[in-house]
Structure 1
Amino acid sequence: MRVTINGEEQEIAAMSVAALLGKLDYEGTHFAVAVNYDVLPKSRWAETQIKAGDEIEIITPRQGG
């Protein structure tokens, strides 16, 4: 199915948000995930299934000034 991840269209298999993060090698807790512009609590990553057409943003903190 086609989804958009961080502004880039990709073809992925059906999976949960947690599985997608594992596939993309995101580890730790210093990032947030939004699906269709709604921030998803970490407690729901495993139960939330990605659907065709979803827009997923993985947001990481950056230092700067």
Structure 2
Amino acid sequence: MEVTVNQETLEIQENCSIATLLDLLPHLPVKGIAVAINQQLITRSEWSGRKLVQGDKVMIIKATQGG
């Protein structure tokens, strides 16, 4: 099935959770990120149980330091 991650289309397995998706993207740190699906923020505690569906738009946001 296809989902969009940060404006890039990816082909993933059915029943893929957010946690599994993040494992498939090794260049992303697990700490210091936030995940939204279809413009709804998903809490870290929901990542392993929240399954993605065809057409979901996933936004992964990395925290940055600044001042």
Q: If the length of structure 1 is used for normalisation, what is the TM-score?
A: 0.88
* Displacement after TM superposition at 1:11 (Å): 1.2
Aligned-partner Cα distance in 2 for 1:36–1:51? 11
Q: Amino acid of the residue matched to residue 28 of structure 1?
A: V
* Displacement after TM superposition at 1:41 (Å): 0.2
Question: Once the two structures are aligned, what percentage of the paired residues are identical?
Answer: 38
Question: How many equivalent residue pairs?
Answer: 65
User: Which residue of structure 1 aligns with residue 44 of structure 2?
Assistant: 42
1:1-65 equivalences in 2 (<5 Å)? 1-14=1-14, 15-25=16-26, 26-64=28-66
RMSD over aligned Cα atoms: 1.4
Question: Unmatched 5+ residue regions in structure 1?
Answer: none
Show structure 1 runs of 4+ deviating over 3 A. Answer: none
Question: Unmatched 5+ residue regions in structure 2?
Answer: none
Q: Is the 8 A contact 2:17 2:47 kept in 1?
A: yes
